[in-house]
A and B are shown apart, each in its own frame.
Chain A
Amino acid sequence: NAGVTQTPKFRILKIGQSMTLQCTQDMNHNYMYWYRQDPGMGLKLIYYSVGAGITDKGEVPNGYNVSRSTTEDFPLRLELAAPSQTSVYFCASSYSDTLAGYEQYFGPGTRLTVT
């Protein structure tokens, strides 16, 4: 049981390039999330999904896209990378809604630098 896995661990992008951050969970969780964490700041929700085929925007969705074709995978797409997207990105999953007290499990993060 690997939990939540993210690839890559590190990436340097040039301004204007695109990339996809991969996230996979093997816990059969319905809910999945993408967060970003800037230095010295709390996490901010980018997008989330409550099940395959369903996604919704979080607090900071601009410049990102997601898809959820399977229960296991929730990739995050960056189009036209900008320096403001330099951050650490965390993927998380939970069986059901945090509202009801279900714990979120986090991946190890992807450190992205855009120069």
Chain B
Amino acid sequence: KQEVTQIPAALSVPEGENLVLNCSFTDSAIYNLQWFRQDPGKGLTSLLLIQSSQREQTSGRLNASLDKSSGRSTLYIAASQPGDSATYLCAVTSSNYQLIWGAGTKLIIKP
């Protein structure tokens, strides 16, 4: 059974720092992996989607990488800003075509 883990559960860093969020999954047979952002009281917003054949995707200050063989993905945020404060979730599309979600990392960027 596919399981997705995100460590740490919470992270606090000063503004301006570069940071990395981690996501690991137990079954490498995935179709794609997505990173989402969740703001309190709001829905989720898709940030990046990496197909299983890809190694990374970039959008602005965000870069997501995927290593299927080791069951890992990272989300790199460059030059962090207070507006980046949110919970970041990763999810994989597994063999049963459904999204399997991690519990998220709550990120706080201190001004």
Contact = CB atoms under 8 A, between A and B. Distances in A.
Interface of A: 4, 40-45, 48, 58-59, 90, 92, 97-99, 101, 103-109
Interface string B24-40: 00000001101000000
22 contacts: A4-B43, A40-B103, A42-B104, A43-B101, A44-B101, A45-B98, A58-B98, A90-B44, A92-B43, A92-B44, A97-B97, A98-B31, A98-B93, A99-B32, A99-B93, A101-B32, A101-B49, A101-B51, A103-B34, A106-B45, A108-B41, A109-B41
Nearest to A94: B46
A42 B49 contact: no
Which interface class (under 10, 10 to 19, 20 to 34, 35 or more) fits B? Answer: 20 to 34
B contact face: mostly helix, strand, loop, or mixed: strand
A84 B89 CA distance: 23
Contacts of B41: 108-109
Interface in B1-38: 4, 9, 31-32, 34
